Amino acid sequence: AQKITQTQPGMFVQEKEAVTLDCTYDTSDQSYGLFWYKQPSSGEMIFLIYQGSYDEQNATEGRYSLNFQKARKSANLVISASQLGDSAMYFCAMRAGSARQLTFGSGTQLTVLP
Amino acid sequence: GAGVSQSPRYKVAKRGQDVALRCDPISGHVSLFWYQQALGQGPEFLTYFQNEAQLDKSGLPSDRFFAERPEGSVSTLKIQRTQQEDSAVYLCASSPSPPGYLRSGANVLTFGAGSRLTVL
């Protein structure tokens, strides 16, 4: 079975500061992929960043980086220089082994303060 | 189209009514998924299509839920005799190729904005 745990229901960050959103995962598969999606109040899930289990380098996409610690089974999202538009729900998700679908965590509501 | 389009965006149904939710994936996308997202929760998998073939329907919560994609493009999720517990946002997502091996890359899903169903 695959499981994603996001322990922070809500987070606040001051504009222009960095913030880390936590994600831990559980799978017995050696091959898996970790995803972060952003869901603003409009409802659409927006893909942010991907990390494969075999990738040696931590993934980065602009202001987003993924702090991948395989031994700890964690895949935390780091957002640098927060902007007001970053306020949204953030979901960590995983696809593992032969599974076709993503398994999502319960999400973290991020609020960026001016 | 440019993105995944879902309709209606909002649907209110009386308990016991049938509803149909439509998904227009990105043109040419092979894979299509339906997810159910309860309030304050992450999306949960319902079913998966590869072209017109429904390869996985293990997430459908009951036999009142039915999905189809007859021509391998537009998909419809139908819920018969709706119940209050069916109230949720139903998300559709598509990707250009089958999920495949993870070593080949992310095969990122593009999601629609969802259809919010409220059953009274």
Sorted by sequence, the CB contacts under 8 Å of residue A59 that are 6+ apart come out as: A49, A50, A51, A65, A66, A68
Q: What's the rounded Cα separation, in Å, for the pair A80 and A66?
A: 11
With CB atoms and an 8 Å threshold, state whether B42 touches A31. no
Work out the mean pLDDT of chain A and round it to a whole number: 95
Q: What is the pLDDT of residue B101?
A: 60
Most B CBs within 10 Å, among A44, A64, A101, A108, to test the B interface: A101
Whether the CB-CB separation of A8 and A74 falls below 8 Å is answered with no
Sorted by sequence, the CB contacts under 8 Å of residue B55 that are 6+ apart come out as: A100, B48, B49
**Nearest chain B Cα to A92, which residue?**
B42
pLDDT at residue A75 greater than cutoff 70: yes
User: Does B116 contact chain A (CB < 8 Å)?
Assistant: yes
With CB atoms and an 8 Å threshold, state whether A107 touches B41. yes
Tell me whether the omega of the peptide bond preceding residue B8 falls within 30 degrees of 0, making it cis.
yes
pLDDT at residue A36 greater than cutoff 90: yes
Q: What is the pLDDT of residue B102?
A: 58
Q: Which helix (H) or strand (E) holds B83?
A: none
With CB atoms and an 8 Å threshold, state whether A35 touches B41. no
With CB atoms and an 8 Å threshold, state whether A53 touches B102. yes
Q: What's the rounded Cα separation, in Å, for the pair A10 and A108?
A: 5
With CB atoms and an 8 Å threshold, state whether B89 touches A43. yes
pLDDT band at B103 (very low <50, low <70, confident <90, very high): low
pLDDT at residue B10 greater than cutoff 60: yes
Mean pLDDT of A93-113: 94
Alpha carbon A25 to chain centroid, angstroms: 11
Q: Which of A33-42, B8-17, B78-87, B91-100 has the lowest mean pLDDT?
A: B91-100
Q: What's the rounded Cα separation, in Å, for the pair A106 and A100?
A: 20
